[in-house]
Amino acid sequence: MKRSVLLSLLLLLCAVPLVRAAMPGPGMPPPAPVVEVGEVLAVQDTQSRRYTGRVVSPATVSLVPRVAGEILEVGFRDGDTVQAGQMLYRIDPVRYEAAVKNARGKVVQYKAEHAYARADLARNRSLFKKQAVSRDVLESAERTEQVAYGELLAAEADLVTAQDDLRNTQIVAPMAGRIGVTAFTAGNYVTTSSGTLVTLVRTDPVRVRFGLSVRDMQAVFGSEEELRSLGRVRVRLADGTEYGTEGRVTIVDNTAEGRTDTVLVYAELANPQSRLVPESTVVVTLYRQTDSVVPAVPPSAVQHDVQGAFVYVVQEDDRVSLRRVTLGNLVGESQAVRSGLNVHERVVTDGTHKVVDGMKVDYARKGTDAGVQD
């Protein structure tokens, strides 16, 4: 027992010089904390706002029958994408073909009667000059010619109507788009009062509609003209994924909604794969596209206290300096800085809790720079 105690005391006495050697001597500073440092890069200066929006089609057509008859054929499958001019419905044309032939016959008949009336009028004018017929005979011939001409015009109008009815026995897509579910299948008899047969919507491009506060419009863009020329949008889908194609503002409504002081804004986006579904809800990020650039750092480099935001800038002697900054918007994965930093300066991006103003640091440069250059 005594022997083991003596052995422990001996080991302790031997360890004291080793511990003392590891500790900094009198007047020696503690080792510099290890932090990560990144270089400040430039990003495009964008100011953004986020809103809830709705996808809307720029064109919607409700197709209705313009003539009565039995549907002989439906030329699409429900939900199909159709092309402009594609046949959608074919209505029995027999009676309308007959009506066209009848109207053509009337035109031929009244052309002949009008030609005879004109010739008769010419003869009577010649005879009247020779005082061979009375004025009453001449006026009767003039009247007959005018009546024949009027009947010819009416017959030609009836032919146009009959031809239009015949054309309307084939209902074609007025534009390319996505067709809905048909309300009437082949074999049904429809009339002009049957209502909508099917609805066709344009799906490429589409529009995203959202309400923009007048305050935000003036703060970010200044005017409607600037909003239309510089406004760009990014869209996040219902599942949280980003829609890859950028859109641009195309329409700004002409009045604001009085209760909310917002104006409706429409942005147009290409939609070749129909990922944006009309009437679905999306998250819209509206931003101002400019050519100017500002410094940017990772969000982790930015600290806050009661006086506001600040970063630790690494000086040439590897000492950190607390620098007050004015923040801009998030641009991708970077935090834009509107004032207080310059491009190519170095900032502490990880380990900020280990340092204070004026402390010397030991650092490892991050694998990526502090900014994200667009």
Statement to judge: residues 210 and 274 lie in one domain: yes
**Is pLDDT above 60 for 2?**
no
Q: What is the pLDDT of residue 284?
A: 93
With respect to residue 374, please indicate whether it lies within any of the assigned structural domains: no
Q: CB–CB of 234/209 below 8 Å?
A: no
Question: Which tens digits make up the pLDDT trace of 55-91?
Answer: 999 999 999 999 999 999 999 999 999 999 999 999 9
With respect to residue 13, please indicate whether it lies within any of the assigned structural domains: no
**Is pLDDT above 60 for 144?**
yes
Structure tokens that stand for 3 in this block? 């022997």
Which residues, 6+ apart, have CB-to-CB distance to 253 below 8 Å? 263, 264, 265
pTM of the model as a whole: 0.63
Statement to judge: residues 221 and 315 lie in one domain: no
Give the residue from 288, 314, 334 where a domain finishes: 288
Torsion over CA: 125, 127, 133, 137 (sign): negative
For the beta carbon of residue 324, count every other beta carbon within 10 angstroms. 13
Residue 242 is part of a domain; what is its CATH number? 2.40.30.170
% of the chain at pLDDT higher than 90: 59
Rg of the Cα atoms in the chain:
42
For the beta carbon of residue 279, count every other beta carbon within 10 angstroms. 9
Most confident of 102-111, 215-224, 278-287: 102-111
Rounded CA-CA distance 370/341 in Å is 12
Helix (H) or strand (E) holding 355: none
Statement to judge: residues 85 and 97 lie in one domain: no
% of the chain at pLDDT higher than 70: 89
Rounded CA-CA distance 320/297 in Å is 16
Give the residue from 201, 221, 256 where a domain finishes: 201
Across the strands, what pairs with 327? 337
Statement to judge: residues 87 and 98 lie in one domain: no
Residue 359 is part of a domain; what is its CATH number? 2.40.420.20
Question: Which tens digits make up the pLDDT trace of 152-211?
Answer: 999 999 999 999 999 999 999 999 999 999 999 999 999 999 999 999 999 999 999 999
Statement to judge: residues 81 and 185 lie in one domain: yes
The arithmetic mean of pLDDT across residues 350-363, rounded, is 89
Structure tokens that stand for 304 in this block? 């806050």
With respect to residue 4, please indicate whether it lies within any of the assigned structural domains: no
With respect to residue 351, please indicate whether it lies within any of the assigned structural domains: yes
The number of folded domains in the chain is: 4
Alpha helices of the chain — where are they, by DSSP H?
2-22, 94-129, 135-167, 214-220, 224-230
pLDDT band at 18 (very low <50, low <70, confident <90, very high): very low
Domain that holds residue 39: 34-43+293-365
Question: Which tens digits make up the pLDDT trace of 86-109?
Answer: 999 999 999 999 999 999 999 999
Rounded CA-CA distance 11/50 in Å is 67
Statement to judge: residues 220 and 251 lie in one domain: yes
Cα 141 vs. chain centroid, distance in angstroms? 68
Q: What is the pLDDT of residue 3?
A: 54
Statement to judge: residues 153 and 191 lie in one domain: no
With respect to residue 23, please indicate whether it lies within any of the assigned structural domains: no
Statement to judge: residues 196 and 151 lie in one domain: no
Question: Which tens digits make up the pLDDT trace of 232-263?
Answer: 899 999 888 999 889 999 999 988 888 888 99
Q: What is the pLDDT of residue 24?
A: 55
With respect to residue 181, please indicate whether it lies within any of the assigned structural domains: yes
